[in-house]
Amino acid sequence: MTEQGPARVHLTPAKGATRGSLLLTHGAGGGVDATDLAAIAATLPAHGWQVALVEMPWRVAGKKVAPMPPKLDAAWREIVAQVRDDLAERVIFGGRSAGARVACRLAVELGADGVLALSFPLVPQGKGADTSRIGELVLPVEAGLPVQVVQGARDPFGSPDAVREALRGALGDEAHDVRVDAAPGTHSFTGGQAIADLVAASLVEV
């Protein structure tokens, strides 16, 4: 329960020894049934990772439009506090689109051990580079956390190359520490298994 209403957490336990937990949430236009999130929840447990998919309060309430970032962040703080004891010692925050932004903004504050950003919305459609959200993406990097970005090859909010370029502009040589993977599709990936495989490959190195 949060001040904005109930949230819902779907836990899939790791198989065998638990290496860590992935705490992931959805974007502003969908839920935890998104193909990439569902594939991650089906695939990563076999690699020793517990997966917790979080439905934010606005989504549980049946609303079609997500609230502004301050409310998303407030709900995430409450959710993390309530589920932390059910997660492994090592926790990766993440999500898709707006959910990735929440994870980036709060990873350091709430003690995450890394960030997984799926379809990070670098620049709003139709807007210029002055509206870039690269400042959010670099927050965990600057704190020394491992960050993986999985971006659709034709994402109108920012291609993989656009994300890499923005990271270089913001971080210089430190940009090489961020793993940016290209995936089939646009902001909505084409299929989910390719995304889950990229995440599994990255977490092997964590």
Per residue in 65-106, pLDDT (tens digit) is 899 999 999 999 999 999 999 999 999 999 999 999 999 999
Cα Rg of the chain, angstroms: 16
Q: In what order do the strands lie in the sheet with 20-25?
A: 8-12, 49-55, 20-25, 91-96, 114-118, 147-152, 179-183
Q: What is the mean pLDDT of residues 104-109?
A: 98
Could you read off the pLDDT of 147-173 as tens digits, one per residue? 999 999 999 999 999 999 999 999 999
Could you read off the pLDDT of 130-150 as tens digits, one per residue? 899 999 999 999 999 999 999
Q: Which three-class secondary structure state does DSSP give residue 13?
A: coil
What local confidence, expressed as pLDDT, does residue 191 receive?
86
- Look up residue 14 and give its DSSP letter: P
Burial of 112 from C-beta contacts in 10 A (0-12 / 13-18 / 19+) = buried
What local confidence, expressed as pLDDT, does residue 20 receive?
98
What local confidence, expressed as pLDDT, does residue 104 receive?
98
Could you read off the pLDDT of 170-198 as tens digits, one per residue? 999 999 999 999 999 999 998 899 999 99
Helix axes 98-106, 134-142, angle to 10 degrees: 40
What local confidence, expressed as pLDDT, does residue 127 receive?
85
Q: What band does 206 get if pLDDT is binned at 50, 70 and 90? A: low
Q: pTM value?
A: 0.97
